[in-house]
C-alpha cells in the first residue's frame, strides 16, 4: 500500500488513506450511532473502495452550504461546475438553480444577517479551513479533516433538517447524538490535542433547511465528548483493523443500502406476527 499524502480531498478520501487510517465517519459506519445502523460488511466495502454511498440532494445541499460559508470564491465556482445536477436542464428555468439549491442562498444570507446584528455564528467559522490532522488512538492511525480549526476552538458546520427535532430509538436523542456528531467531535478533539497539545472545545454550527431557516452555535459538553470517546475501545479498534485487513469475516446488518443491493434470496422467509 502506498503512503497517502492526505494533501488533497482525493488523497484524503481515497482508498489508500481509508485502508491505512481510521476516521470518525469510518467508526460510525462500523459501530453505528442511534441513527446509523452498524454494518461491518458495508463499512469494509466502503473502506476498500468497492462501494460508495449513493449521492443525494441532501448531501449535495449540505456540501453547497459548507462551501458557500467557508470556501473561497474559486472553491465555490469549482463546486458549482462539478455539480450540474443542481441546475435545471430544461424548460423556462433551464440553467437556473433548482428550488432546493436556491434555498441555500437564503441559508447563507441568514448566517450573514446574524453577523450584521452582532451574532457570533459566522465568527465560529473563522480560522483554518479543512485542516487535516492525524494521530494514534489505542495503537491505530486516525485521520480527521476539520471544517474549521479556529483560535482556541474546533467548529463543524452542519446542515440539518431541524435543530430542535428529537429522534427516537430506544430513547429520545438530539440530532448531535443521533448522527454521531459527538463521536466525531471527540475524535477531532483528540487528534488536535495530539497535534497541537491543546484540548479545544468542539462546536456545532448548525443551520436548518426550514423556511425560514434556523441557526445555532452549540458547544458539545466535555462529558458528552468523553462519553462518546469511551466507545472507542482498544477491542473495537482491533476488530475494525482485522475486518479491514481481511482477517475476520464482517457481519451484515441486513437493512442498509449495501445489504439491500447484495441480498440473495435462498429460501422463503416465514412471516412473523408483530
Half-sphere exposure of 71 (CA within 13 A, CB side): 15
Does 255 map to a domain? no
Does 104 map to a domain? yes
Does 238 map to a domain? no
How far apart CA 69 and CA 130 sit, in angstroms, is 13
Q: Which domain holds residue 120?
A: 56-232
HEC per residue, the chain: CCCCCCCCHHHHCCHHHHHHCECHHHHHHHHCECCECCCHHHHHHHHCCCCCCCCCHHHHHHHHHHHHHHCCHHHHHHHHHHCHHHECCCCCCCCCECHHHHHHHHHHHHHHHHHHCCCCCHHHHCCEEEEEEEEEECCEEEEEEEEEECCCCEEEEEEECCCCCCEECCCEECHHHHCCHHHHHHHHHHHHHHHHCCCCCEEEEEEECCCCCCEEEEECCHHHHHHHHCCCCHHHHHHHHHHHCCCCCCCCCCCCHHHHHHCCCCCCCCCCCC
Does 11 score more than 90 pLDDT? no
| CATH number of the domain encompassing residue 171 | 3.90.320.10
How far apart CA 214 and CA 106 sit, in angstroms, is 11
Does 256 map to a domain? no
Does 239 map to a domain? no
Q: How many CB atoms lie within 10 A of CB 93?
A: 12
**pLDDT single digits (tens) 151-172:** 999 999 999 999 999 999 989 9
Q: How many CB atoms lie within 10 A of CB 66?
A: 21
Of the pLDDT bands very low, low, confident and very high (cuts 50, 70, 90), residue 44 is very high
Does 19 map to a domain? no
Does 122 map to a domain? yes
Q: How many domains does the chain have?
A: 1
The closest alpha carbon to 174, from 150, 189, 158, belongs to 158
Q: What is the mean pLDDT of the chain?
A: 91
What's the predicted TM-score (pTM) here? 0.90
Does 7 score more than 80 pLDDT? no
Does 72 score more than 70 pLDDT? yes
Does 21 score more than 60 pLDDT? yes
Does 240 map to a domain? no
Amino acid at each position: 500500500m502506498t503512503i497517502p499524502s492526505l494533501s488533497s480531498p482525493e488523497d484524503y478520501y481515497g482508498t489508500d488513506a481509508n485502508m491505512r487510517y481510521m476516521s470518525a465517519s469510518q467508526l460510525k459506519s462500523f459501530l453505528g450511532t442511534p441513527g446509523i445502523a452498524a454494518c461491518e460488511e458495508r463499512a469494509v466495502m466502503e473502506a476498500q473502495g468497492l462501494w460508495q454511498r449513493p449521492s443525494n440532494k441532501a448531501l449535495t445541499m449540505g456540501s453547497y452550504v459548507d462551501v458557500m460559508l467557508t470556501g473561497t470564491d474559486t472553491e465555490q465556482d469549482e463546486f458549482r461546475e462539478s455539480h450540474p445536477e443542481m441546475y435545471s436542464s430544461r424548460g423556462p428555468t433551464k440553467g437556473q438553480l433548482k428550488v432546493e439549491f436556491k434555498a441555500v442562498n437564503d441559508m447563507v444570507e441568514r448566517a450573514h444577517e446574524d453577523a450584521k446584528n452582532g451574532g457570533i455564528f459566522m465568527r465560529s467559522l473563522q480560522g483554518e479551513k479543512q485542516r487535516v490532522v492525524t494521530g494514534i488512538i489505542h495503537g491505530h492511525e486516525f485521520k480527521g479533516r476539520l471544517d474549521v480549526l479556529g483560535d482556541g476552538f474546533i467548529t463543524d458546520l452542519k446542515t440539518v433538517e431541524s435543530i430542535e427535532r428529537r429522534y427516537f430509538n430506544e430513547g429520545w436523542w438530539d440530532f448531535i447524538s443521533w448522527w454521531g456528531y459527538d463521536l466525531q467531535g471527540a475524535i477531532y478533539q483528540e487528534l488536535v490535542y495530539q497535534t497541537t497539545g491543546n484540548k479545544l472545545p468542539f462546536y456545532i454550527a448548525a443551520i436548518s433547511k426550514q423556511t425560514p431557516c434556523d441557526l445555532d452555535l452549540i458547544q458539545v459538553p466535555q462529558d458528552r465528548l468523553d462519553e462518546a470517546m469511551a466507545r472507542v475501545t482498544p477491542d473495537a479498534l482491533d476488530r475494525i483493523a482485522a475486518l479491514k485487513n481481511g482477517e475476520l469475516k464482517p457481519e451484515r446488518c441486513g437493512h442498509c443500502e449495501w445489504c439491500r443491493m447484495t441480498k440473495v434470496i435462498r429460501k422463503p422467509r416465514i412471516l412473523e406476527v408483530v
